[in-house]
Structure 1
């Protein structure tokens, strides 16, 4: 099976599928899971935790395919230029691109630094706690959004800036982008769904970049030898993410984020206590 056993592959993929779209940090949970399983942080394992996110994002395309593959058929503003007419027709994709740009630039510039932080359980734990405390109050901090709120280019870009915060392991891309959407006056449901849509180009690019980088670094053999793990991991992540998305939308619309905040605090706090007691939880 290569660097991962079948059991390890399935467990890590289940964790990815469950947590990718929940505001609890999928990366952080996979790092913790690796540690519990005793998985060595090899170059392939680092790539694996990114590449299986591709399976999870396909669940978004599957669940929302009618909304994801759509064009704007409303009339363009009177007197609009050819470019404006084009952007108006592809309005949905244009705003996804605008929101994606900040993370694409920073992710490319700080890729190595991000990889370094991915090995730190302490960073994950601290950010889980900080993010959890914030989530206890975020429903009150941001007034209830309106279903009539229009997602402009500026608002999409601002959500993209929020997404950049999630490059710190333990923050949660889902949490950052949903909070970013709520800060732009979107409803919790609309903010969550845009977060899901934004995951598609973001995770697709992250996966592509990680695979390309591995190829350029001479990792072709590594990928080939571990292909079964990649296939199993993506399939499992896809199936589990389908269920997680349906649960999350229903739950967060009714109850908000407080439960996820407490969960983050408990998990992060437990890890910090274990580190303070001398347990070696760092991934080697």
Structure 2
């Protein structure tokens, strides 16, 4: 892989990890387009580390508050004020909801990772599920529009969102798209649903690559580092842009994009 290809793939990772259009599908499509074989494990882990750094950097203030709130809530358990503390401090509640949502994600990833990895060998399956992602995005804004926020979300909501995030291991199902859509289906307001989705990605990315971070040292050459830096910069900017879009507009543009790209890939794969 040359530097140009590494940077392009890094940009695609930074864009699609957070936009609701499936990073796994786009990485497969662009590797095929660039004539690059499936990138090695070291580079994939490095790219995910890049987007992890981007989301942590963007939400660093919230993350610090969540960590502090979590440990304070542990102390609340021993003082008998746990439930009261959750009601008073929204960050205490959010910290535990992130943990609850991460449990089904981790279970699904652990049990079905090998099964779904076989789907990455073809562009057809990602294209089909990219169309499914578009359907989810389109319907989520029309079936149940609500204004629920941190004060209204509960453990059941967190579990459901965690399950849909786990299913995003399927290539073509967008992690951010599935969790955001599920949040909207549950009546969460768009801004809180997006924030919850982004922060929830942190333990998901760490968990998915926890045992592979040791392989990063094998990817520390100039080519892969260029892709890594591109993923960080573009990932950070993408989060900012998407949050602005969510505030002002519907997500239909991403639904239409998923349909167009998915259908186009299916057509092209039929004739090649």
Same fold (TM over 0.5): yes
Once the two structures are superposed, the pairs formed by residues 10-159 of structure 1 within 5 Å of their partners are 10-41=7-38, 44=40, 46-70=41-65, 71-72=68-69, 82=79, 85=82, 88=86, 90-147=92-149, 149-159=151-161
Per the alignment, residue 226 of structure 1 pairs with 219
Cα distance between partner residues in 2 of 1:124 and 1:83? 49
The whole-number CA distance in structure 1 between the counterparts of 2:11 and 2:152 is: 35
CA contact (8 A) 2:21 2:177 kept: yes
For structure 1, list consecutive stretches of 5 or more residues without a partner in the other structure.
Answer: 213-219, 280-284
- In the superposition, the TM-score normalised over structure 2's length comes to 0.86
Is the helix fraction higher in 1 or 2?
Answer: 2
- Tell me which of 175, 178, 203 is aligned to 2:177: 175
Mapped to 2, the partners of 1:230 and 1:151 lie a distance apart of 40
Query: What are the superposed Cα offsets for residues 248-282 of structure 1, whole Å, 9 maximum, x if unpaired?
Result: 111122211111010011111111111122x1xxx
* 8 Å contact from structure 2 (residues 23, 174) kept in 1: yes
Give unmatched runs, 5+ long, in structure 2: none
Secondary structure of the equivalent of 1:69? helix
Native 8 Å contact 1:25 1:171 kept in 2: yes
CA contact (8 A) 2:148 2:188 kept: yes
Aligned length: 261
Residue of 223, 228, 244 corresponding to 2:238: 244
For residues 165-220 of structure 1, what are the alpha-carbon distances to aligned partners after superposition, in whole Å with 9 as ceiling and x for unaligned?
A: 211100100011111212332111110111000011100111223346xxxxxxx6
CA distance in 2, matches of 1:244, 1:146: 25
Q: For the Cα contact (< 8 Å) 2:123–2:269, is it kept in 1?
A: no
User: Given the two structures, how large is their TM-score scaled by the length of structure 1?
Assistant: 0.83
